[in-house]
Amino acid sequence: MDVYDLFSSCRKGDICRVRYLVEQRDVDLNVRDKWDSTPLYYACLCGHEELVEYLLASGAKCEANTFDGERCMYGSLSDSVRRLIKDYKCVSVRAMQRNDFNYFLHMLLEQGQHSDVKFLVHGQIFTAHRCVLSARSDYFTDMFQTKWEGKNLITLKHPLVNPAAFGAILQYFYTGRMDIDISLLDDSRRLAKQCKMADLIEELEKKCKQLYEFVSNKPICVKVLSLEPRSCQLQEDMAQLAKSALPTGRRAGFDELPFNKLENFQSYPDICFIVDGYNFLCHKAFFCGRSDYFKALLEDHFSEGGRLQSQPSTPVITLHNISHEIFIHVMYYIYTDDTELTTENAFDVLCVADMYLLPGLKSLCGKTLAKTICEDNVLYMWKTAKLFRLSRLEDHCTEFMARIIERLVEQDEFAEIIREDAESLEERHENDSVPLVDDIRYHITNNVQTYSLIAQAVVLLTALFTTLASVV
């Protein structure tokens, strides 16, 4: 419903509603409907200049000379919107950070932190990670175990291997995205065929067909072909690294993903975590890149650990105050940006995610906890959301409070929460508002359009403000 609301609000130009959906409900700005259109496209099509500016600033993708960029430009209702699109150059770092996992994968490739292999392609160096390439490609899995075994520098001398096309292939391996100049399509197809990437070849053909159908008979020029990650294939491939890191006795039955090649899969771990006596063979690139806690632990306090007897080159760190069951959930999140949470373990994972500085995992826990909100626990859930700074869970709680406000105002605990929320404001004056009361009032009055709903809202607001007056 939130996604439908986003598209509808963009067509209407309701920037307040869009801002609420993006900032409070965490709706993906670059989601696509069944016509392959984005919210930004509809905002451009309907000429909502202020909304277009907000969407671009918040991370909507619309690079110049790409299919999406040219489509938004061509479909814009007014010249002022076209100028906005034209001035928009590329995806900013701020925009990419809206999706932490994609940003992490992008930086992992770009900076090459903890890389263990380099490719020399006609004078150009590309740093990479064996674990990522092996997880994403059977071809690289085989080559690292045969022809390239033990090599840290691999030279590709074939004259048909174009460095720019090779870089685009690496981008696809790491991020699921691919941005390639139209003139290099044949080189990219050739490399994809060599790497036995049938899915990529199919995606390229589909995107080319879509592009040619769009540009025919239109005065536009698309120079860059961009592929967006459309499926969970990237996460499934990265999940192989998580599953290979599991202790042998803990691999069966944790998930239902297909791992047919896991028996012959070499993940090239470079760090061992001991949790509850179990050895987890992991990768510093993922743990340091995803968590500042692990970055400090592995880079600043490395001397405190030992070495793995079976693999003397692999350092060992023992983690305390966490069970191996909870660590498995943390590990899967670090590798895939997702994990299997239940209402029973969500709070325990939340506490660990807060300790390990994993805000994305905290948000996943918040989504799971939001499903359990009821009249008996809504106040506790709201306190939990405030404590762990889970804005979306807090919003779900206040939305639920608005629906039961007539019964809620009769509870002493609710009055006490309002009092504490008011006292938390520094230098509060008598006429200042209370954040919790404001949030509940917003949900009571939101989308009130009929006389009967207005009358009902007045009754609810009266009950709310009577409670506010009695405690503040």
| Secondary structure (DSSP) of 118-136 | EEEETTEEEEE-HHHHHHH
- 362 plus 450 within the same structural domain: no
Q: How many CB atoms lie within 10 A of CB 124?
A: 12
Q: For the chain, what is the domain count?
A: 4
- 383 plus 347 within the same structural domain: no
Q: Return the beta strands (E) in 91-239 as ranges.
A: 117-121, 124-128, 153-156, 178-181, 224-227
Query: Residue 401 corresponds to which tokens in the numbers above?
Result: 């409070």
- What pLDDT is recorded for position 345? 93
User: Does the pLDDT at position 282 exceed 90?
Assistant: yes
- What pLDDT is recorded for position 332? 96
Report the C-alpha gap between 415 and 34 in whole angstroms. Answer: 47
CB–CB of 353/341 below 8 Å?
Answer: no
The per-residue pLDDT of the chain, averaged, comes to 83
CATH number for the domain spanning 84: value is 1.25.40.20
Q: Residue 406 is part of which domain span?
A: 373-471
- What pLDDT is recorded for position 257? 45
- 69 plus 112 within the same structural domain: no
Report the C-alpha gap between 107 and 126 in whole angstroms. Answer: 13
Is pTM beyond 0.85 here?
no
- 7 plus 115 within the same structural domain: no
State residue 179 phi and psi, 5-degree precision: -120, 115
- 315 plus 389 within the same structural domain: no
CATH number for the domain spanning 331: value is 3.30.710.10
Report the C-alpha gap between 65 and 89 in whole angstroms. Answer: 10
- What pLDDT is recorded for position 211? 78
Report the C-alpha gap between 88 and 95 in whole angstroms. Answer: 12
Which residue, 387, 388, 400, is CA-closest to 443? 400
- What pLDDT is recorded for position 89? 54
SS3 281: strand
Of 323, 347, 367, which one is at a domain's C-terminal end? 367
CB–CB of 223/215 below 8 Å?
Answer: no
- 83 plus 126 within the same structural domain: no
Residues 6 or more apart whose CB falls under 8 angstroms from that of 297 comprise: 317
State residue 17 phi and psi, 5-degree precision: -70, -40
- What pLDDT is recorded for position 95? 43
- What pLDDT is recorded for position 256? 45
- 82 plus 16 within the same structural domain: yes
- 377 plus 353 within the same structural domain: no
Q: How many CB atoms lie within 10 A of CB 379?
A: 17
- 130 plus 199 within the same structural domain: yes
Q: What is the mean pLDDT of residues 57-77?
A: 78
DSSP string for residues in 100-119: HHHHHHHHHHHH-TT--EEE
Highest mean pLDDT among 27-36, 177-186, 276-285 belongs to 276-285
pLDDT, tens digit, 9 for 90 and up, residues 213-250: 777 766 667 777 878 776 578 889 999 999 999 987 66
Which residue, 335, 382, 338, is CA-closest to 360? 338
Q: Identify the band that residue 79 occupies on the pLDDT scale cut at 50, 70 and 90.
A: confident
DSSP string for residues in 27-89: --TT---TTS--HHHHHHHTT-HHHHHHHHHHT----TTSHHHHHHHHH-SSHHHHHHHHH--
- 397 plus 464 within the same structural domain: yes
The C-alpha angle 53, 55, 58, rounded to 5 degrees, equals: 110
- 126 plus 220 within the same structural domain: yes
- 111 plus 190 within the same structural domain: yes
Q: What is the mean pLDDT of residues 295-315?
A: 71
Query: Residue 149 corresponds to which tokens in the numbers above?
Result: 């075994």
Highest mean pLDDT among 64-78, 144-158, 195-209, 221-235 belongs to 144-158
User: Does the pLDDT at position 94 exceed 50?
Assistant: no
* DSSP run (H or E) holding 279: strand 278-282
Which residue, 198, 225, 210, 190, is CA-closest to 66? 225
Q: Identify which has the larger pLDDT, 361 or 253.
A: 361
Of 75, 93, 111, which one is at a domain's C-terminal end? 93
CB–CB of 405/464 below 8 Å?
Answer: yes
Q: Identify the band that residue 258 occupies on the pLDDT scale cut at 50, 70 and 90.
A: very low
Highest mean pLDDT among 374-388, 393-407, 441-455 belongs to 374-388
Lowest mean pLDDT among 107-121, 269-283, 402-416: 402-416
- What pLDDT is recorded for position 92? 42
End-to-end CA gap in the chain: 37
Of 206, 227, 248, which one is at a domain's C-terminal end? 227
